Amino acid sequence: MGNDDNTLTRVGEFGLIKRVTQRLPVHDDCLLGPGDDAAVVAASDRRVVACTDVLVEGRHFRRDWSSATDVGHRAAAANLADIVAMGARPTGLLVGMCLPGDLPVEWAEELADGLAAEADLVGVSVVGGDTVSSKELTIAVTALGDLQGRAPVTRSGARIGDIVAVSGRLGWSAAGYTILSRGFRSPGALVAAHRRPEVPYAAGPLAAALGATAMIDVSDGLLSDLGHIAESSHVSINVESKTLEITEAMANAAQAMGVDPLAWVLTGGEDHALAATFPPDVLLGGDWRIIGRVGVGRGVTVDGSAYEGSTGWDHFR
């Protein structure tokens, strides 16, 4: 990959920006795209939802495990998932790329391809960004979204008696990470899930329309993220472990690695599933499935007991 004639240092900042922006499709919500001091994006309901998530090489991805396109998919997915977790429809992405000068231009181009392809899944564009040279490869993405007239679904609205439900995969990315870190490359479905999460994008606005009382993107791990809902809502949450799916591939991989697959499902982040609470009489649709219930008190339990072991990820520990 790459040679000295085709590094970022060779093509320069403006050459890179030109090559990257050429690859980015423009969707309807983008009223003014890359190339000016700032972008202009539609915000039809007079509010805009916005979030920022940063991926750092070695912490969030490894170039020997993931292609540039994979990294682009993940960086976009991590942010788009936060937007849909508010019940909003994504409307655009901005991308700050901090790239080493000796990086091949193709890597940056493929990163842009991955970002654009993931954004395409929800019909939005990369509307702007910044490129700077750095020692550490870092991708800072901001996503914007439209609430379509609905109230945002926050973490603080869960009520005692609500049901707890999830949409999307749990534990797949963590399983893939364990497999890769032990030097293996299969089962392919789990490894692929670590490289590129499959975010249940439609489930966020659907949950809002169904009356979800609280919602969160599962990025730190199910128990850790349900803990954020419990804390913000001043309630407790109990998860029934028998409702959580452990696929055959996951069970086999866990056995081969000598680990408990339930730990992946309960504490693995980065699949960007959605977890939400709903009134007990809700008629769920889509991929939403009930996994527990909101109660009095505080904290998160599994089958009525505290879960033994680490519940999630802290970036400075």
Question: Segment near its own copies (CB under 8 A), from 62-70, 168-176, 277-285, 309-317?
Answer: 309-317
117 binds its own copies (CB under 8 A): no
What's the token pair of residue 144?
A: 């914007």
Contact between 6 and its own copies (CB under 8 A)? no
Strand partners, 90: 145
53 belongs to an annotated ligand binding site: yes
Residue 157: phi and psi, rounded to 5, are: -100, 5
Work out whether 132 is an interface residue with its own copies (CB under 8 A).
Answer: yes
194 burial type by CB count under 10 A (0-12 exposed, 13-18 middle, 19+ buried):
buried
Q: Please report, as residue ranges, which positions from 181 to 220 form the binding site for its own copies (by CB under 8 A).
A: 215-217
313 is in an annotated binding site: yes
Q: Whose Cβ is closer to its own copies: residue 128's or residue 171's?
A: 128
- Which residues, numbered 263-302, are part of the site for its own copies (CB under 8 A)? none
Q: Binding segment for its own copies among 36-44, 194-202, 263-271, 276-284 (CB under 8 A)?
A: 36-44
- What is the distance between the alpha carbons of residues 66 and 2, in angstroms, rounded to a whole number? 17
Cβ proximity to its own copies, 147 vs 190, nearer residue:
147
Q: Which residues contact 213 (CB under 8 A, 6 or more apart)?
A: 153, 157, 158, 159, 162, 276, 277, 278, 279
Of 188, 163, 122, nearest in space to 292 by CA: 163
CB of 16 to its own copies, least distance (A): 7
Of 109, 100, 110, 145, the closest CA to residue 127 belongs to 145
User: Is residue 46 within 8 Å of residue 146, measured between CB atoms?
Assistant: no
* DSSP, res 175: H
Which among 169, 173, 220, 174 has a CA at the least distance from the CA of 199? 169
Residue from 72, 104, 114, 129 that binds its own copies (CB under 8 A)? 129
Q: Is residue 235 part of the contact set for its own copies (CB under 8 A)?
A: no
Q: Binding residues for its own copies, how many (CB under 8 A)?
A: 75
Q: How far is the CB of 262 from its own copies (least distance, A)?
A: 24
Contact 204, 259 (CB under 8 A): no
Task: Tell me which residues in 13-32 interact with its own copies (CB under 8 A).
Answer: 13-14, 16, 31-32
For its own copies, the binding residues in 44-103 under the rule CB under 8 A are 44-56, 58-60, 82-83, 85-86, 88, 92, 94-98, 101
52 marked among binding-site residues: yes
Q: By three-state DSSP, how is residue 78 classified?
A: helix
**What's the gap between Cα 71 and its chain centre?**
12
Binding site members for ATP = 129-130, 155, 219
Binding site members = 37, 52-53, 60, 82, 129-130, 155, 217, 219-220, 270, 313
